[in-house]
Amino acid sequence: MDETLPLGRIAGVRVSLNWSVLVIVALVTVALARSEFPAAHRGHSALQYWVLALLAAVVFLASLLAHELAHAVVARRNGVQVDGITLWMLGGAARLHSEAPTPGAELRIAAVGPLTSLLAGGVFAGIAAGPHMLHASGLVVEAVVWLSAINVLLAVFNALPAAPLDGGRLLRAYLWHRTGDRLRATRAASAAGRGLGWFMVLSGFAAVWFGHNLSGLWPALIGWFLIGAATTEARQAELRGVLGGVPVRRVMTPNPVTVPDTMTLAEFLSQGPFGPYRHSAFPVLAADGSLAGLLTVRRVEATPARARASTTVGEVMRPLAEIVTAAPEEPMLDLLPRLEVSPARRAMVLDAGRLVGILTVADVTRALAWPSGPAQTQPRSAAPQVTKKA
């Protein structure tokens, strides 16, 4: 089952909801209906509290979406491709396919998020203070005030100078401008993100342990997310530094061992694991020598033993339509996104339709482990970058 629910396009950007959005909606609704609203305005029915709390939670999600849409729109105006936006438990994620081309573009893309949240907070504050609200229920005014405060808090938190928050991208833009080294700037912003994450984790657990306050689990969870996201961002920067400008042909394994599609599984198994078939996946060739698919040991194992003598490789292989393919001169950084989401975790390298190599995650790992790195050139493009907000 797909873990996201597509909502269509807004301003030309694909928007979807992750199932975990239900968690944040539930948490916000329960907190408002059972604590915040009754404490501020007594005497209302439980139904009123719950309905208004649910409405406030939905409007809060809309403000998160506005925050991410602002990133996406400004990114596209600065030449950065946007794959889409996903709302999830800890906020929103704008998936940027490539990085900003200049420090100035990075600054504009990052700054617009907190500014949008700050503007939303100001709008809600203006609504709460408007003359027409004087005749509204105090409970409704309380909900609008809460929306104002939460958006201002969101703006302030995201402005903290720590990756992957917007403030971390502002810090990276500044350091990139000062040093001219994007990789060095990314490392510094990621280190700040991990530092902030550990602070939130430790302080959250301290609140639970010493203060007996279970609400400390929330900042601890956000801090743990920041640590992971900052570490991932640093790893992506290393990938760009090592693989930038490197073509697929330099990383792939050339001339891989292939299997004919007419071979039976029994014949295939008889020649391994010490014969020619000693790997776990093999390109499958048709009679005319063209690539037909990919055979994995897992698919062979899924075939009943009694049927292997009469079942051919072509019947159980993963078809060509499900396999990632690449050209030898394609930049590695263009291939990585497709490779990482591929179920087979492999790419077939084709030159004019002819199989010339295979590229696996292990090949990429070997390239990254080489002390001097394959190349020191600047990347033509970058792996997808996910900008997430807590």
Percent share of the chain, pLDDT over 90 = 61
pTM as predicted: 0.73
| pLDDT of the residue at 241 | 78
Query: Which residue in the list 68, 99, 106, 142 is annotated as catalytic?
Result: 68
Predicted local confidence at residue 17, as pLDDT: 87
User: What is the per-residue pLDDT for 242?
Assistant: 81
Cβ neighbourhood burial of 278 (10 Å; 0-12, 13-18, 19+):
exposed
Quick one: pLDDT at residue 380?
39
In one-letter notation, the amino acid at residue 218 is W
Q: Can you give the pLDDT at residue 61?
A: 93
HEC states along 118-151? Answer: HHHHHHHHHHHHCHHHHHCCHHHHHHHHHHHHHH
Q: Which residues contact 354 (CB under 8 A, 6 or more apart)?
A: 289, 290
* CA-wise closest residue to 33 among 59, 224, 41, 149: 41
Average pLDDT per consecutive 10 residues, the chain (390 residues; last block may be shorter): 74 86 90 92 92 96 94 93 83 78 95 96 93 79 95 95 93 95 92 95 92 83 91 83 88 94 94 80 94 94 94 96 94 85 90 94 84 45 45
Q: At what angle do helices 182-211 and 166-179 cross, to 10 degrees?
A: 150
Distance CA 25, CA 50 (A): 12
pLDDT of 381 = 41
Active site residue 3: no
Q: How far is CA 32 from CA 125, 221, 369, in A?
A: 18, 20, 51
pLDDT at 29: 95
Distance between CA atoms of residues 219 and 378, nearest Å: 38
pLDDT at 103: 95
From CA 364, how far away is CA 142, in angstroms rounded?
A: 54
Enumerate domains of the chain plus CATH numbers. Answer: 4-159 (no CATH), 248-369 (3.10.580.10)
